[in-house]
Structure formats: C-alpha cells, structure tokens
Amino acid sequence: MTRRCRINISLAVSVLAIVVCIFGCTRQEGKSGGPAEKVTIAYSATTDAVLAEVAHIRGYYREEGLEAVSHMHPYGKPALKEVLEGKADFATVAETPVMFAIMKGEQISIIATIQTSRKVNAIIARKDKGILTPGDLKGRKIAATLGTTSDFFLDAILATHGISKKTVEIIDLKAEEITAALSKGDVEAASAFSAYISLAQRELGSRGITFYDENIYTSTFNVVTKQEFIRKNPEKVKKMLRALVKAEEFIKQNPEEARKIVAGFSGTDIAIVHDIWANTSFSVSLDQSLLLALEDESRWAIKQGLTSSAKAPNYLDFIYLDGLTSVKPNAVRILR
C-alpha cells in the first residue's frame, strides 16, 4: 500500500475528531430550549454514513437538543459492536452485521436506513495472476471481511458464476487490511466495499481488475440502537431522526459542499468520494426492500451454516417504525 493510502486510513479517525470539534462546537444554535442530552454515535469514518457525518459537522444534532459524541471506526461492524457492548447509543452499519446480531439473539432495532447503493461492493482481483473473468476465481485465495456485506457479496458472486465455496480459500481480513494483502500477493482476490475498493484499485493499478454486479445485491447503511434504549428514550430517537432528515435536505441542496465535508474529515480523496457518490442514494427511510434483504440474508446464513439459528426471525420486530413515522411519515414504506 502506498504511503498516501496508509495515511488516509490510519489518520481518518483523528482527522474526523478534529473536524467534529471545530464545526460541532461552533454551531451553538439550538431549538430544544433546554440543556442538550448526550448521545454517543459509533459510525464508519469513510463514506458509508454520510448523513450521520453531515448532521454532526453541520450541528444538526445540537439543533435538535442532542450533544452527540462520535466514536469512529473503519467500517460498520465494529461500530455495531460498540452498541452491543453498551459503549454507544447508536451505530451506523450495513444490514448484514445487523442480521447476524439479531440471529444471535441481540435485542436491537433499525430506526432508519440512511443510504443505499447497488455498486458499493465489488471483487478486486490480481489480473497479473491470471484472473480475467469472475469464473477465474475458482481455486483462488480470496479475502473477505466475514460477517459483513463483503461476506454476503462474495457468496453471491460465486453462486452467480457457478463456483462452489469448497473450491476457493476464503481468508478473513479487516476491511482496512485488504489492500495490503492484495498488493503483497497474500491473496489473489478480495471482496471489498466502499472506499476500500478505490484504494485497492489505485494500489494495484494495471495489475488489478474489478468485478461488479449491480443486479445481485443492494447494500443498505442503517442507524441501529438497542430496543431498551428506544423504550427509555423515544424522544432522543426522534431528535436523532430529525437531525438526519436535515442532513438529507442539506445534501440535496449542497451536494458539492457535502462531498467536501466527507472528503475532509474521512481523509478520502475527493475523486473517490465523487465516484462513490455517483452510485449512492442518500435518504432517511424504512423501505420494504430492507425487510426483504434481511430475510434473504438470513436464509443464506442458515444455508451456509454461519448461524446456529434454524429459522429466521420476524424482522418487523427489529425495525422501529414509530420514530420515523412521526418525523417523516412518507419515508416509511414497510408493510405491517
């Protein structure tokens, strides 16, 4: 991995913390009329939680009466872990780690989806190792971040091209470790997501090849909290959602400024942000497609023996509809 790429990943959290302090502390206007209530938000310090990041930088949480403390992570799975451990109130995370947590019995709920994309996952492979088509993945050593969308997308690609998992060797790596593993030749291909795709592409250059498939998977990034937190703090949930809706409107009206915000505090090159932005929808919603994705991924996890559960739960019990219904009712499109 190049020195620039290492700096982008390793310093992203530090840069974001500084920017949050500068911007968040300067926007003091609030509408709550009382002292701000503290909440802790764990989220990915890349391009996966744009609405949550913009809401913080623009001071929308404070405007709604929340004193938001951010805990940054390289991707969503470790952010969710903080909520499960009681170290954060909210997490921004893709639906796959949420599914695995629920299948393990965790009492959590999705309060909103904040972005979706059909092109945020891909297989990056070493073309110089003879991988020219997805069919060439057979017999290869492939990295994936297990328990995330990277895991699910890899299985979907293999199944689509008639490749049995038994014919490949899957190496579990953290998302931020994938670029180096590909560059050094420790693996011949990897299932990656978000900015890590672009980082790997840049590192490999002409040695690499990328396989997308926009028809087999749509990724969602969501805001999740414990059900106990919702029961005790329904108004905090509504304040959180109102701040995210404000961020959504800001992005619609000021897309270029929003991209600069994301690039600045994530340490991501603005060109990469533009690439990802072009294939991503930013909206606070709860859609039927989220429910279907959770159910589909549960069947996959059961079939692959990735969970001890033999039956998928009723995911309506794990999606909190009342909060968003009270804040943005037309964005709730889940059949009850």
> Per residue in 266-289, pLDDT tens?
778 899 899 889 889 999 999 999
How many whole angstroms from its chain centre is CA 320?
19
What is the span of the domain harbouring residue 174? Answer: 121-211
Residues 162 and 292 in one domain: no
Residue 110 corresponds to which amino acid?
Answer: I
What are 79-91's pLDDT values in tens digits?
999 999 999 999 9
> Which pLDDT score is estimated for 208?
97
Q: Are 254 and 232 in a shared domain?
A: yes
| Domain end among 183, 211, 239 | 211
Same domain, 223 and 74: yes
Task: Taking the CA atoms of 222, 225, 231 and 235 in sequence, report the sign of the dihedral they define.
Answer: negative
Determine how β-strand 121-126 pairs with β-strand 280-287: unpaired
Read off φ and ψ for residue 69, nearest 5 degrees: -105, 125
Same domain for 57 and 201, yes or no, is no
77 and 193 assigned to the same domain = no
Return the CATH number at 33: 3.40.190.10
- Tell me: do 249 and 111 sit in the same domain: yes
Tell me what pLDDT residue 259 has: 95
pLDDT tens-digit readout, 317-330 = 999 999 999 999 99
Look over the chain and give the mean of its residue pLDDT values, rounded to a whole number. Answer: 90
Q: Give the residue from 211, 235, 250 where a domain finishes.
A: 211
205 shares a domain with 244:
no
Q: Do the bridges between strand 121-126 and strand 189-193 make them parallel or antiparallel, or are there none, so unpaired?
A: antiparallel
Q: Which residues contact 261 (CB under 8 A, 6 or more apart)?
A: 53, 54, 57, 58
| In a shared domain, residues 264 and 142 | no
**DSSP type of residue 35:** P
**233 shares a domain with 111:** yes
The conformation of residue 319, written as its DSSP 8-state character, comes to B
Residue that terminates a domain, selected from 189, 211, 233? 211
| 125 and 112 within one domain | no
The whole-number pLDDT of residue 33 equals: 56
Looking at the fold, whether 103 and 236 belong to one and the same domain comes out as yes
Say how many domains are in the chain.
2
Q: For residues 223 and 52, is the Cβ–Cβ distance under 8 A?
A: yes
pLDDT under 50 in the chain at which residues? Answer: 1-30
Please indicate, yes or no, whether residues 113 and 256 belong to a single structural domain of this protein: yes
